[in-house]
Amino acid sequence: MKVAIIMGSNSDWPVLEPAEKTLKEFGVEVEVVVASAHRTPELVKEFAAGARDRGVEAIIAAAGAAAHLGGVIASYTTLPVIGIPINATPLNGMDSLLSFVQMPSGIPVATMAINGAKNAAIFAVEILAGAHPELVKKLADARVKMQEEVKVKGEKLAQARAAAAKA
């Protein structure tokens, strides 16, 4: 089980690091690459065209500004590509979001929220779960854990509000 994470600049890494962490928590191997659709197009083409042969089953592509990286990668592979628009300009990531979601018919890129690395990783795990049934239980267990954490937070808030009302 392997997912590749590619970003247009190493400055995107702080946004993407949670994706790597999440994938590793599910036992998924991660390949991380920095390559720019505009500055290193041949490297991007080589990365995308050879991904399946390297055992990659899904690609997470993150980019800011014009955000062509995900679309260029999708044009060179039939693997699922998950786009993460990065907030990297005065437009607060809206330029990147629109670049990702406006892919032409026939070359899709699934698009997450601006800076949505963790959801991209979880979505990649869900894709892999179709071929790797052991991930189905891990995904279910993660949701139960999340539900328990939310319940505890709700209880803490109720206690704090009750204490404040008595004061």
Question: Which pLDDT score is estimated for 67?
Answer: 85
Question: Which pLDDT score is estimated for 66?
Answer: 81
pLDDT in tens, 134-158: 999 999 999 999 999 999 999 999 9
* Predicted TM-score (pTM) above 0.85: yes
Residues 6 or more apart whose Cβ sits within 8 Å of residue 62: 5, 6, 7, 8, 12, 15, 16, 69, 83, 84, 85, 86, 117, 120
Q: Looking at the predicted structure, is the pLDDT value of residue 167 above 90? A: no
pLDDT in tens, 11-70: 999 999 999 999 999 999 999 999 999 999 999 999 999 999 999 999 999 998 888 999
Q: Looking at the predicted structure, is the pLDDT value of residue 8 above 90? A: yes
Question: Which pLDDT score is estimated for 84?
Answer: 97
**Chain position carrying tokens 């991660």:** 30
